[in-house]
C-alpha cells in the first residue's frame, strides 16, 4: 500500500493504496468500466432477504447500507466465494473475476463502508469494525456454511485478520497482493523521517492514509502477529513486476519489504501456499486473471473436500 505524488511513480503506486481518481490509477482500471455491465445486465430485481438472488442489493448493517452483488449458482456443496476489493475500489473492480468464477460457483462481492455504493462511515473505523461488516455479509450470502474469502490489497489484509478468529465462517483464503501485517512499519523503516523530496512525500502521505485519511476512514495498525486459521487452504499471490522500484532511492527496499510481508501471511495456515504472478503488478486479477481464477477454484475445491 503506497502512494506518491511523482508522476511516474504515481502510476505504479497510487492504486496500491487508494486509487481514488488519481492520474495513473485511471489507466490501471481503463478496462474495468467495460465489465461493470456484466453483472448489471444479468441482474434481476433483488429477492427478499434470505432468498438466493442474482444481481445487486443493499444490506442493512449497523444502521448503514452496504452494497452487495451475487452471481452464479451453488454447485456440488462447494462453498460460496466472497470477493473483497482493495482500498479506494468498489466491487465493480472485481466484476470480471466475479463473472469468471460465477461460471462454476456462487460468488458474491460487497463494498465496505466508504467504498463504492455503500454508505460513508460515520467516523473512524478499525480492522475489527470491518470484520463486523464482513460477518453481516457472510450471514447473508453464506448462512449455511463457511465461505472462501478472496481479498485484494486491503481486502486481503481484512480477510487475513478475520479468518483466525472466525474459523467457523472461513473455509479458505486467497490473498491477491494483500497488504502486509506490518506495512506502515515497513514503509517508515525503509524511508526515514529525515528523508527529503519525493521519499518524504511517500512517507508522509502513507502515514496519513494508515492513520485514517482514506475513503473508509479506516485506521490500519501494524501488528507482526499473524494468527492461525488452522489448516484451511490458503493461497498467497504476490506481484512479480517490481513496480515499487519506481520510487527513487527507496524503491528496491520497498519491493523487498513487500515480498517479506507476503511471506508473513504464510503463518495463517499449515496449508498455505505462496506463489508469484510474474507478469503482474498490484492488480493481479487484472494483469493475469487466469492465475487468480485458478487459485480461487483450487482453494474452493479443496475446501469442498474437507
Whether residue 147 contacts residue 171, with contact meaning beta carbons closer than 8 Å, is answered with: yes
Whether residue 3 contacts residue 15, with contact meaning beta carbons closer than 8 Å, is answered with: no
Average pLDDT, the chain: 87
Count CA within 13 A, CB hemisphere, residue 140.
26
Residue located via cell numbers 500500500: 1
Return the domain boundaries, the chain. 7-305
User: Closest by alpha carbon to 139, among 109, 169, 166?
Assistant: 169
Whether residue 150 contacts residue 83, with contact meaning beta carbons closer than 8 Å, is answered with: yes
First to last CA, the chain: 34
pLDDT, one tens digit per residue, over 93-136 is 999 999 999 999 999 999 999 999 999 999 999 999 999 999 99
Q: What is the mean pLDDT of residues 253-273?
A: 98
Q: DSSP secondary-structure letter at 74?
A: -
> How many other C-beta atoms are found inside a 10 Å radius of the C-beta of residue 259?
16
Q: What is the mean pLDDT of residues 232-251?
A: 96
Tell me phi and psi for residue 40, to 5 degrees.
-65, -40
**Can you list the alpha helix ranges (DSSP code H) found in 147-288?**
154-162, 183-190, 197-210, 251-264, 284-287
pLDDT, one tens digit per residue, over 162-179 is 999 999 999 999 999 999
Whether residue 286 contacts residue 28, with contact meaning beta carbons closer than 8 Å, is answered with: yes
pLDDT at 75: 79
CATH of 7-305 among 3.30.930.10, 3.30.1360.120, 3.40.50.1820, 3.40.50.800: 3.40.50.1820
pLDDT at 30: 45
pTM, rounded to two decimals: 0.86
d(CA 173, CA 82): 10
Q: Is the pLDDT of residue 29 over 80?
A: no
Per-residue confidence band for 305, with pLDDT thresholds at 50, 70 and 90: very high
User: Closest by alpha carbon to 178, among 285, 98, 250, 101?
Assistant: 285
CA distances from 96 to 82, 162, 231, 279 (A): 14, 25, 29, 18
Amino acid at each position: 500500500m503506497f502512494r506518491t505524488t511523482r508522476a511516474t511513480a504515481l502510476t505504479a503506486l497510487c492504486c496500491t493504496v487508494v486509487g481514488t481518481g488519481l492520474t495513473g490509477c485511471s489507466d490501471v482500471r481503463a478496462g474495468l468500466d467495460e465489465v461493470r455491465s456484466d453483472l448489471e445486465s444479468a441482474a434481476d430485481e433483488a429477492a427478499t432477504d434470505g432468498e438466493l438472488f442474482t444481481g445487486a442489493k443493499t444490506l442493512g448493517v449497523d444502521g448503514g447500507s452496504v452494497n452487495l452483488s451475487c452471481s452464479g449458482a451453488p454447485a456440488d456443496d462447494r462453498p460460496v466465494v466472497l470477493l473483497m476489493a482493495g482500498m479506494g475500489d468498489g466491487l465493480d473492480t472485481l466484476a470480471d473475476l466475479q463473472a469468471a468464477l460465477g461460471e462454476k460457483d456462487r460468488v458474491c462481492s460487497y463494498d465496505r463502508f466508504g467504498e463504492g455504493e455503500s454508505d460513508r462511515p460515520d467516523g473512524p473505523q478499525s480492522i475489527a469494525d470491518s470484520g463486523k461488516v464482513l460477518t453481516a455479509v457472510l450471514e447473508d450470502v453464506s448462512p449455511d456454511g463457511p465461505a472462501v474469502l478472496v481479498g485484494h490489497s486491503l481486502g486481503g489484509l481484512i480477510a487475513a485478520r478475520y479468518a483466525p478468529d472466525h474459523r467457523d465462517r472461513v473455509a479458505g483464503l486467497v490473498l491477491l497482493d494483500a497488504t502486509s501485517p506490518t506495512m506502515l512499519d515497513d514503509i517508515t523503516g525503509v524511508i526515514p523521517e529525515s528523508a527529503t523530496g519525493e521519499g518524504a512525500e511517500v512517507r508522509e502521505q502513507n502515514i496519513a492514509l494508515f492513520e485514517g485519511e482514506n475513503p473508509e476512514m479506516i485506521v490500519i495498525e501494524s501488528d507482526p502477529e499473524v494468527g492461525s486459521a488452522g489448516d484451511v487452504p490458503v493461497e498467497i499471490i504476490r506481484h512479480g513486476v517490481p513496480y515499487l522500484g519506481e520510487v527513487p532511492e527507496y524503491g528496491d527496499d520497498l519491493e523487498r519489504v513487500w515480498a517479506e510481508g507476503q511471506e508473513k501471511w504464510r503463518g495463517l495456515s499449515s496449508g498455505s501456499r505462496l506463489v508469484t504472478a510474474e507478469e503482474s503488478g498490484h492488480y493481479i486479477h487484472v494483469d493475469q486473471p487466469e492465475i487468480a481464477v485458478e487459485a480461487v477454484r483450487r482453494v474452493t475445491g479443496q475446501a469442498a473436500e474437507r
